[in-house]
Structure 1
Amino acid sequence: MLTAGDKKVRSETFVSRETNEPLRTYSASIKKWTDKINLIARKDANDEAIWERHILDSRQIVPLIPAGVTRAIDLGSGAGLPGMVVAIERPDIHVSMIEADRRKAAFLQTMVATLGLSATVVAERIEMARIAPVALVMARALAPLPDLLVYAVPLLAPGGVCLFMKGRNAEAEIAAAAADWRMVVERFASQTDPDAMILRISEVRRAG
């Protein structure tokens, strides 16, 4: 049966002095590029919303990354949330960002080069991506949990974990996933959205 850790932990949104400048450069670039290719919703394309609702929101993943992770994958990275934020905050982790939209992938590649990040952009559909399994798979606002697990498990190394940022339907998605998957789920309360949480999922395997 599905095992669910009930802990709810408020993760830090503190941004270190060393990463503040590249994050600000990244934020400004999201604003600039959204005018052309809709990286994020246009209503959020202002400095405050980008910083609070997107960058600091994504940054909550960083303290939840298990020790020893050196490679990670961001599924459906879009504007690079949370993959780009992790690559900036954790230069010791090589992040592969999978994004099928070629225009968004071009933005990600520009950011990787501009900021000198240890990251790779994979401009393919998730199911077509050929990447060696990693210890951490991430996603934000991509798909319901049952679908996320289908995407993530082939890319997850033994003993690896998933960090998924979910909204108000998280509990229903966990229940739906229990029909096909066995896993340990830890819940972490979001600091940026009272209806949201971050799921840290481990020991994932098919049911039966």
Structure 2
Amino acid sequence: MSVAPAPLKPEDFARALGVSRETMQRLETYAGLLQKWNRSINLVSRESLIDLWRRHFLDSAQLLAFLPPPPPDRPLRILDLGSGAGFPGMVLAMLGAGEMHLVESDRRKCAFLREVARTTGTQVLVRPQRVEHIEGLRADVVTARALAPLDRLLDYARPLLLHEGVCLFLKGRAVEREISQLPRDPTLRMETFPSRAASDSVILRIGSLAS
């Protein structure tokens, strides 16, 4: 029987990611707001707050290493689907990933995201709508965590990606089954990387998907 690691401390997170003191202050403010709001709004499971720096912040921040370079004439445009409490999108925005669009249909969660952005001075665009209703927007990167099975995520992402765009999905133990159930597509470029936050989770990087 495996023993769970000790909760990750903020200073350990900062050291592992090379995060500046100023950015850490914003992330710690975010963590405080998450714990406060979670008492009245179901943003994340209470159990996960015991190790929130690993379960939520490290889990999100690890995607930074997999982002493509930005275009020469503008910031990288990232679309975070089903943002919920802001993972991974808000964390990536605080780490300077690019132009971040947070898509969330629950208006209470949108209020939380706006409060985090306001309090920490983080530039994000909160979109209070369902993923299926997004129009007039295409992104270089589409991210998602715990939103839907892989086949549905790909259906969501196809009309939202620019040419040569990529998907970055955080997936858990069901990922192999979800991959095996996808229709065969020899053009799809899919890579799997181990998660730094959980031994039973992976990062999926998918390309050649834009419609």
TM-score, reference length from structure 2: 0.85
Q: Which has the larger displacement, 12-21 or 111-120?
A: 12-21
Unaligned runs of 5+ in 1: 1-11
1:188 matched to which residue of 2?
A: 193
Structure with the largest fraction of strand: 1
Q: Does the CA-based 8 Å contact 1:181-1:205 persist in structure 2?
A: no
Residues 182, 205 of structure 1: 8 Å contact kept: no
Contact 2:169/2:205 (CA < 8 Å) preserved in 1? yes
- With over 3 angstroms needed to count, the CA separation of the structure-2 counterparts of 1:166 and 1:13, relative to structure 1, is farther
SS state of the match for residue 164, structure 2?
Answer: strand
2:80 matches 1:77: no
Instruction: Report the equivalent of 1:94.
Output: 99
Number of aligned residues: 192
Distance in 2 (alpha carbons) for counterparts of 1:28 and 1:83: 17
Mapped contact 2:191–2:205 kept (Cα < 8 A) = yes
CA distance in 2, matches of 1:13, 1:200: 22
Structure 1 residues 161 and 50, CA gap change in structure 2 (3 angstroms) = same
Deviation at 1:131, TM superposition (A): 4.5
Asked whether the 8 Å contact 2:164–2:210 carries over to 1, the reply is: no
Describe the shift of the 1:114–1:108 C-alpha distance in structure 2 as closer, same or farther (beyond 3 A).
same
Report if aligned partners of 1:137, 1:162 keep a CA contact under 8 Å in 2.
yes
Q: Does 1:141 align with 2:146?
A: yes
Q: Quick one: distance in 2 between partners of 1:43 and 1:181?
A: 40
Deviation, 1:57, is: 1.1
Say whether residues 1:30 and 2:23 are aligned partners. no
Higher RCO (C-alpha under 8 Å, 6+ residues apart): 1
- Determine helix, strand or coil for the equivalent of 2:205: strand
Structure 2: give runs of 5+ residues left out of the alignment.
Answer: 1-14
Work out whether residues 72 and 136 of structure 1, in 8 Å CA contact, stay in contact via their aligned partners in 2: yes
CA distance in 2, matches of 1:172, 1:205: 23
- Give the corresponding residue for 1:151: 156
* TM-aligned CA deviation for residue 59 of structure 1: 0.8
Over the matched positions of the two proteins, sequence identity in percent amounts to 42
Q: Write out aligned runs for 1:47-86 (5 A).
A: 49-68=51-70, 70-86=76-92
Looking at structure 1, the residues matched to 146 and 187 of structure 2 have their Cα atoms a distance apart, in angstroms, of 22
Q: Decide whether aligned partners of structure 1 residues 133 and 87 sit closer, same or farther in structure 2, where only a CA change above 3 A counts.
A: same
